[in-house]
Amino acid sequence: MRMLAIAAKDIQQILRDGKSALFLLIMPVLFTIFFGLVFGPVRSGDRQRDPRLPIGLINQDPGGQLSDSLEELIGQSEVLRPIRLDQEAAEQAADRSEQGDLVAVVRVPVGYSQAVSADQPISLEVIMNQQTPSGRTARTALDTVTGRLFGAVESAHISVEAYQSRIGFDGDAARQTAFQEAFQRAVLAWSNPPLTVQVEQATGTPALGGQGVTINGFTQSSAGMIVQFSVFGLITSAMLLVLERKNRCLQRLLTTPISRAEVIGGHLLAMFLVVFVQEAILIVLGQFAFGVNYLREPLAILIMMLALAFWAACLGLLIGALAGKEDQVIVLCLGAMFLFSALGGAWFPLDVAGKAFSSIGHMLPSAWAMDGFQNIILRGMGFSSVLFPAGLLLVYALAFFGLALWRFTFE
């Protein structure tokens, strides 16, 4: 009961502090929205925007069978997204390419269809920066498209020559008609090529998911801000320990029947409850405001909440034991927040940071906290997937608790 009284006293002091709402609720929600919009896929209505590389297309051979087919083949590409440019836009095409609005600009010259059909020398006019990865990718994709076009032309020529040698045509008009039909069949055959390259938009989340999983930008930011602000929110809790030690409140407590273990346990319980309630509020907001399906495995999420809150409380106790002044609490909390958030995957998925960075990040408890939450809300895994991350959090928590007891002084 004495431990509960100390915890209740700490919570009352935290709630009376006007800055508590800022650290524990307002900032986490604002940061969740910010990072959710940053990582979220750009959408237009209910459909995701085309992620292919945008290239400007200026067709100065309108109505030509080959130029129209070229535009059709580019449109079917999994890499290139053609944007038709009118005359006014065509005059600014080079500037748009330099500014990065367009990866490339392709101009189909006048008489292109006739020249290619007759095997006369003619080429597309292409403006692009091949020194950039996107430029090189666009160049390769465009070569693939033109290769398909020339292959269709060659196939049509072979078909026409074979028919001419066996049966013959009644005139040039019949020969031209046969060529156009053979060319069109060859182009249609590329609608389902044997090998394709697909470009997908990077959203900061793995392209994984399971039943009941909705992947969006908040899938990363919601869990990330829960982990980040479980540390940052300790400023007010750890500050109480420093102030009580500074004004000798802890020493006076020892003159009462309260034991040292009850004093430490009461402060630890207060930190645990503060972090746990903060987690609960952010998870409810994530579920109902941001579309993150925490409730698909409620028991697993509860275990992760308890493990994270206990680890954060032990960290707060350690910070309170190490800090001698109020400003040191702020420095230690900010330092811990930046370290655990940046390296632990709270700001961006460790999956996209490379194997070496991910291995370093998983030396920190925050990375395992992120794994536990994202196993449920992102990867669609079951209850057992959180047991190992939660167990590691408890190991880290006990280690921090032991260090806090070792460094804790009542003087």
- pLDDT reported for residue 298: 92
- pLDDT reported for residue 184: 78
Based on the fold, state whether residues 314 and 349 are members of the same structural domain.
yes
Based on the fold, state whether residues 174 and 245 are members of the same structural domain.
no
Q: How confident is the model at residue 203 (pLDDT cuts 50, 70, 90)?
A: very low
Residue 197 belongs to a domain: no
Q: Which of 137, 154, 189 delimits the end of a domain?
A: 189
Based on the fold, state whether residues 23 and 59 are members of the same structural domain.
no
Q: How confident is the model at residue 45 (pLDDT cuts 50, 70, 90)?
A: very low
Indicate if the pLDDT at residue 205 is higher than 50: no
Q: Which of 189, 221, 241 delimits the end of a domain?
A: 189
Indicate if the pLDDT at residue 120 is higher than 90: no
Task: State mean pLDDT over 337-357.
Answer: 81
Based on the fold, state whether residues 347 and 250 are members of the same structural domain.
yes
Q: How confident is the model at residue 61 (pLDDT cuts 50, 70, 90)?
A: confident
Higher pLDDT, 255 or 162: 162
Q: How confident is the model at residue 110 (pLDDT cuts 50, 70, 90)?
A: confident
Based on the fold, state whether residues 117 and 226 are members of the same structural domain.
no
Residue 195 belongs to a domain: no
Residue 200 belongs to a domain: no
> pLDDT tens-digit profile of 275-328?
898 899 999 998 888 888 898 889 999 999 999 999 988 888 888 778 777 778
Q: How confident is the model at residue 42 (pLDDT cuts 50, 70, 90)?
A: very low
CATH code, domain with 118 = 3.40.1710
Residue 69 belongs to a domain: yes
Based on the fold, state whether residues 222 and 315 are members of the same structural domain.
yes
Which candidate, 373, 364, 370, 367, places its Cα nearest to that of 399?
364
Cβ 204 vs Cβ 314: under 8 Å: no
- pLDDT reported for residue 46: 39
Task: State mean pLDDT over 262-276.
Answer: 84
Based on the fold, state whether residues 165 and 309 are members of the same structural domain.
no
> pLDDT tens-digit profile of 231-240?
877 777 677 6
Based on the fold, state whether residues 67 and 179 are members of the same structural domain.
yes
> pLDDT tens-digit profile of 135-191?
788 888 888 888 888 888 888 788 878 877 777 777 777 777 887 788 777 777 766
Indicate if the pLDDT at residue 124 is higher than 50: yes
- Supply the pTM of this predicted model: 0.58
Mean pLDDT for the chain? 77
- pLDDT reported for residue 393: 93
Which candidate, 145, 279, 175, 153, places its Cα nearest to that of 224?
279
- pLDDT reported for residue 206: 41
Side-chain half-sphere CA neighbours of 162 within 13 A: 7
What is the percentage of the chain residues whose pLDDT exceeds 70? 78
Based on the fold, state whether residues 133 and 236 are members of the same structural domain.
no
Domain that holds residue 369: 2-42+205-407
Residue 198 belongs to a domain: no
Indicate if the pLDDT at residue 125 is higher than 60: yes
Which candidate, 279, 272, 276, 256, places its Cα nearest to that of 317?
272
Indicate if the pLDDT at residue 339 is higher than 70: yes
Dist CA 178 CA 163 (whole Å):
9
Q: Mean pLDDT check: name the lowest of 135-149, 183-197, 328-342, 363-377.
A: 183-197
Q: How many domains does the chain have?
A: 2
Residue 275 belongs to a domain: yes
Indicate if the pLDDT at residue 100 is higher than 80: no
Cβ 310 vs Cβ 393: under 8 Å: yes
Residue 32 belongs to a domain: yes
- pLDDT reported for residue 60: 80
Based on the fold, state whether residues 393 and 261 are members of the same structural domain.
yes
Q: Which of 189, 214, 247 delimits the end of a domain?
A: 189
- pLDDT reported for residue 192: 62
Based on the fold, state whether residues 216 and 312 are members of the same structural domain.
yes
Based on the fold, state whether residues 54 and 38 are members of the same structural domain.
no
Q: How confident is the model at residue 269 (pLDDT cuts 50, 70, 90)?
A: confident
Residue 72 belongs to a domain: yes
Indicate if the pLDDT at residue 378 is higher than 70: yes
Indicate if the pLDDT at residue 48 is higher than 50: no
